[in-house]
Amino acid sequence: MYDVVLLTLGSERDAPGGCGSGGACCGGATGADTAPTSQTDTGQADTDQASSGQTDTEQCATERPRVPVLACADALNARGARVETVTARSDAEIDAVLARLDGPARPDGLTWPDLDSKTRLVVATASDGQLRAVLRRLVKRYAPAPSKRPADLAGNRTLPDLPPVAVLPLDPARGGTHRDLAAQLGLPRDPAAVAAAVLDGTPRRLDLLRNDGGSVTLDGALLGAADDAGRPLHWRARVEVDDTILTDGAEPLLACAVGNAGGYATLNDVTLLTAPDPADGQVEVAVAVPVVVRSAWGRKRVRLEVRRARGRAVSVLPREGKVPYLDDGVEGELTRKRSWWVEPGAWAVWSI
């Protein structure tokens, strides 16, 4: 039978220096991530938003086991699983849980996941940012440095297949217009159904976006801002997808969407992304450009032109000032070039 760890991310109110600060367990990258791990060269340090003057934190609401966590534990226990609930308040505490997923020692000394492990992980999430926090630590744990790249690593990947995780939404009746990643993927929200997926399901492999800021993206990112009245503000950036230049930075933009899944497919009534697919090995990118046109009578009007491209990698280079963004629901500001690239099928969820 399986050992199941139910992992919840704790709030900063539980432990000074925890979530949202030095430990950033709520999904933010921290200054601690600038230090290389045992698998990372000093020249390939896993940098983050905090070290580049950006923030990537959010407040958490989990202080003690929530009802869905207890219900999921009961359902797992009823099936004979050995269950442990853990509340992590720092990256170090997340890492201690993830260490249970390590495989046997390798001759090359790399820390590698055990995909046949009898330990299964359930991540109880109040937001996509919390799920991303766990995936970010998985990547940091298992991604080898370029100089230590093993021969058995796929040519289109920089990290091995990550261990599957089960997702337990802490808001079973997710409301509003924005669908979280669990809803987009059609994952179960009922704790008993999540328990069934953990014990009886199969891994559903999904693409992961890594970026050169040291973090990861599961759903997508939306760049841009609005004024107090909700009107979008103009900004400029060079946006490239593989060899396609969507804009060279000379013209104003209203928004840029980087989509692995569909969380940022629309903005108000504008369709930005047409077919984002988290399992197709590509990222879909769109920019919204205001274009002035003249009618036959010489009158000027502004229409919104949406340009799209798909590829393996995207870069956004701001031309002036700071560009606010949301990445998996977490706020930040882009001040320099940021690149995302696809790791096809790198992570997985337990699904029935």
Considering the domain architecture, whether residues 170 and 272 belong to the same structural domain is answered as no
Q: Is residue 94 in a domain?
A: yes
Shared-domain flag, residues 163 and 195: yes
3-state helix, strand, coil in the chain (%, to 5): 20, 35, 45
Burial (CB < 10 A; 0-12, 13-18, 19+), residue 327, is buried
Q: Are residues 152 and 89 in the same domain?
A: yes
Higher pLDDT, 327 or 49: 327
Q: Is the domain of 178 the same as that of 104?
A: yes
48 falls within a domain:
no
Asked whether residue 179 is domain-assigned, the answer is yes
Span 108-138, pLDDT tens digits: 999 999 989 999 999 999 999 999 999 999 9
Rounded CA gap, 258 and 283, in Å?
7
User: What band does 66 get if pLDDT is binned at 50, 70 and 90?
Assistant: confident
Are residue 283 and residue 195 in the same domain, yes or no? no
CA torsion angle 212 286 129 140 (round to 10): -20
For residue 150, what is the domain's CATH number? 3.40.50.10330
- pLDDT digit string, tens, across residues 200-221: 999 999 999 999 999 999 999 9
Q: What are phi and psi of 306, to 5 degrees?
A: -105, 120
pLDDT surpassing 80 at residue 2? yes
Is residue 211 situated within a structural domain?
Answer: no
Rounded to whole angstroms, the Cα distance separating 322 from 327 reads: 15
Strand, helix or coil for residue 336: coil
The domain boundary, picked from 200, 231, 256, lies at: 200
Question: How many domains does the chain fold into?
Answer: 2
Q: Report if residue 213 sits inside a domain.
A: no
Structural domain ending residue among the three candidates 200, 229, 258: 200
Is the domain of 175 the same as that of 298?
A: no
Q: What is the residue range of 324's domain?
A: 220-344
Query: Does 58 map to a domain?
Result: no
Query: Do 281 and 309 sit in the same domain of this protein?
Result: yes
In the 8-state DSSP scheme, what is residue 142?
H
For residue 191, which of 79, 94, 73 has the smallest C-alpha distance?
Answer: 73
- Whether 23 maps to a domain, the answer reads no
- Under 8 Å CB-to-CB from 345, ≥6 apart: which residues? 161, 205, 206, 207, 279, 281
Beta-sheet strands, E only, within the chain? 3-9, 82-88, 119-125, 165-169, 202-211, 216-217, 220-223, 237-241, 244-248, 255-259, 266-267, 270-271, 283-294, 300-311, 313-318, 323-327, 330-334, 338-351
Which of residues 200, 229, 248 is at a domain's end?
200
Taking the model in full, what pTM does it have? 0.84
Residue 37 falls within a domain, yes or no?
no
